[in-house]
């Protein structure tokens, strides 16, 4: 297992995966269990920009959001002992994935398109990429985007099946003496 002996950034954990795969949900739980700090990259961007992710997309466009995302991600070079829930697109733009892999450990939370769709139905408005997709087209949209993005997600240091996750999963991965 590559990550267990990897340094520096042994305690820099980057959670990647599609929108609605549970990065924030599990990140918060694992932070409680492990004592690591929890951050959400979208929230960091929102507080720096003083506006929501949806408003950034609407007002300035996705390209501008991706620049802010890249810049905010690099801020984590200054931190240690954290879990960062990245945005669904974070590893797929610029050299973010390579950067995260060099700074710490990247975990892909892998979920089936059906699971993602059921999570996302409730939370469409917060997510500009799917806010205009009709209910009937959501699953197909997710399936297609997931196929595009999996080539990035699959380069993570470890792939975790979301259906198998529990509160102790990260503790187990980090192992003793971290």
Instruction: State the residues that interact with ligand S3P by CB under 6 A.
Output: 19, 42, 53, 87-89, 127-129
What's the closest the beta carbon of residue 121 comes to ligand S3P, in angstroms?
A: 13
Q: Between 101 and 127, name the residue whose CB sits nearer to ligand S3P.
A: 127
The residue (of 3 and 89) whose beta carbon lies closer to ligand S3P is 89
Cα(87)–Cα(17) distance, integer angstroms: 8
Nearer to ligand S3P, 120 or 174 (CB): 120
Query: What secondary structure letter does DSSP report for 58?
Result: H
Q: Which residue has the tokens 């520096």?
A: 8
Whole-number Å distance between alpha carbons of 17 and 160: 10
DSSP conformation letters of 88-146: TTGGGSTTHHHHHHHHSEEEEEE--HHHHHHHHGGGGGG-TTTTTS-GGGHHHHHHHHH
CB of 45 to ligand S3P, least distance (A): 8
- Rounded Cα distance between 135 and 158, Å, is 32
Supply the minimum distance, in Å, between the C-beta of residue 60 and ligand S3P.
13
Is 42 or 157 the residue whose CB approaches ligand S3P more closely? 42
Q: How far is the CB of 111 from ligand S3P (least distance, A)?
A: 11
């Amino acid at each position: 297992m590559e990550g267990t002996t990897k340094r520096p950034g042994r305690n820099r954990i980057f959670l990647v995966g599609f929108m609605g795969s549970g990065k924030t949900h599990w990140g918060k739980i694992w932070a409680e269990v492990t004592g690591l700090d929890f951050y959400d990259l979208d929230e960091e961007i929102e507080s720096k920009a003083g506006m929501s992710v949806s408003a950034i997309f609407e007002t300035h466009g996705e390209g501008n959001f991706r620049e802010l995302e890249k810049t905010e991600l690099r801020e984590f070079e200054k931190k240690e002992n954290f879990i960062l829930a990245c945005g669904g697109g974070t590893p797929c733009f610029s050299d973010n994935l390579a950067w995260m892999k060099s700074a710490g450990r990247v975990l892909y939370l892998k979920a089936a398109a059906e699971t993602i769709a059921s999570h996302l139905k409730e939370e469409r408005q917060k997510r500009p990429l799917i806010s205009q997709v009709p209910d009937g087209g959501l699953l197909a949209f997710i399936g297609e985007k997931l196929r595009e993005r999996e080539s990035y997600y699959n380069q993570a240091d470890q792939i975790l099946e979301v259906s198998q996750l529990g509160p102790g999963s990260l503790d187990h991965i980090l192992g003793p003496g971290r």
